[in-house]
Amino acid sequence: MTQTPAPPGATRRRQDREIISLAVPAFGALVAEPLFVMADSAIVGHLGTAQLAGLGVASALLTTTVSVFVFLAYATTAAVARRVGAGDLRAAIRQGMDGVWLALLIGAVAIAVVLPTAPGIVDLFGASQTAAPYATTYLRISMLGVPAMLVVLASTGVLRGLQDTRTPLYVAVAGFVANAALNAGLVYGAGLGIAGSAWGTVIAQCGMAGAYLYVVVRGARRHGASLRPDAAGIRASAQAGVPLLVRTLSLRAILMIATAVAARLGDADIAAHQIILSLWSLLAFALDAIAIAGQAIIGRYLGAGDAQGAREACRRMVQWGISAGVALGLLVLVARPLFLPVFTSDPTVHRTALPALVLVAVSQPVSGIVFVLDGVLMGAGDGPYLAWAMLLTLAVFAPVALLVPVLGGGLTALWAAMTLMMTVRMLTLWLRSRSGRWIVTGATR
């Protein structure tokens, strides 16, 4: 008996429900993560300016370190989702454990490198003489929590691959609450100062890692997956992560170049740039939530051998990305007069920022396509293409951005270069998605 295909409307509704069920909790977890730094800043800020400046340097170093290794989440999500699609939950969790062991290995190396060199690293990043001791203290203590932070990334990837984004949300919220309470108690109650803030963050991160490991280990035991480190599996996880590491480093280089150029334009320009960049990052969280759903869904379809389902899901998620981009762009346009006074009352900064904010708003549909297709190709395990595409984007962006101080145009010209960067990314990703070469079915790529 021939099965009647589901009508297109029913298929879209099913896809929409699946995207929403994965993207909404993922967005909550993404937003909870930067709240750690905000809570630390709010508590440490009352100790004094030098302490807050030290925290700023150290937290920037830690954030950069962790963001560089975000491939632990991305690569693990794709690999686990493929195994889930193939119906092999035991192999899926085993694959995830390889990512967790890799996270622990990288974390141990990071501690061994940073602890003895922390003062030199802090000086390299330009901390003042008064802030440097606080930055060094915070960095050394917080580095002890880096293995836990990386385990959180890898374990998040495992659960996303298993189509579970709710547990990461619950853990992230609980971690934020614990971090805030511990910091307040250790900084002021115990009188430990900035060291108390660092220890509070370490304890909270270790607690989050423990919660994740409990969930993953319980799943491993239920499905008979081994928990022991496997050299071949760890090596395979590292190899899958290298292209994504190149992609991430290229993106970080783009953001660093943009900030360096803005700093050379003048104080008002760099102040406006930092405000706009913070908004741009917040908008990215919303769009990245759809990308995370894409990683999990596409990996599962390809693992199940359903190439057509992967194509249809990709098409629908692109539509979501464009719609979300339009909505966010309109929100930025409407709210821009209210947004800027939250950060500064300087009218010069306002005048500098407003035209660039318009560019950010107009480019949000492009960003929506970029984030979604980025997630689709990550879910397909198409890391090498993503690496080459981002290197090409860096090669286009860098000379254009560096010419801004020479040719003029100020911050608006710089954000025009940022819009060009996102357009190049969109074109490279769109061409790849149209080619169909990313569609490789099976439990492994």
Look up residue 277 and give its amino acid.
Answer: L
* 436 backbone φψ class: left, alpha, beta (φ>0; ψ -120 to 50): left
Cα-based distances in Å from 271 to 264, 325, 350: 12, 25, 10
Residue with tokens 């008996």: 1
What helix, strand, coil percent values describe the chain, rounded to 5? 85, 0, 15
Distance CA 28, CA 367 (A): 19
What pLDDT is stored for residue 350 in this prediction?
Answer: 83
Contact 89, 223 (CB under 8 A): yes
Distance CA 153, CA 72 (A): 6
The predicted pLDDT at position 46 comes to 77
| 63: amino acid identity, one letter | T
pLDDT computed for residue 93 by the predictor: 93
Return d(Cα 163, Cα 48) in angstroms, integer: 44
Residue 5 has a pLDDT of 53
Q: Which two tokens stand for residue 387?
A: 């690496």
At residue 267, the pLDDT reads 78
d(CA 189, CA 186): 6
* pLDDT of 2: 42
Q: What is the rounded CA–CA span in Å between residue 348 and residue 352?
A: 6
Q: Which residue has the tokens 């395990």?
A: 381
Along the 445 residues of the chain, how does pLDDT read in single tens digits? 444 555 666 778 888 888 888 988 888 888 776 666 667 777 887 788 788 888 878 887 887 788 889 899 999 999 999 999 999 999 999 999 999 999 999 999 999 999 999 999 888 777 778 888 998 999 999 999 999 999 999 999 999 999 999 999 999 989 989 988 998 899 988 889 899 999 999 999 999 999 999 999 999 999 999 899 899 999 989 998 999 999 999 998 998 898 888 888 887 888 888 788 878 888 888 899 999 999 999 999 999 999 999 999 999 999 999 999 999 999 999 887 777 787 667 788 888 889 999 999 999 999 999 999 999 999 999 999 999 999 999 999 999 999 999 888 889 999 999 999 999 999 999 999 999 999 999 988 8
Please measure the distance between the N-terminal and C-terminal CA atoms of the chain and give it in whole angstroms: 34
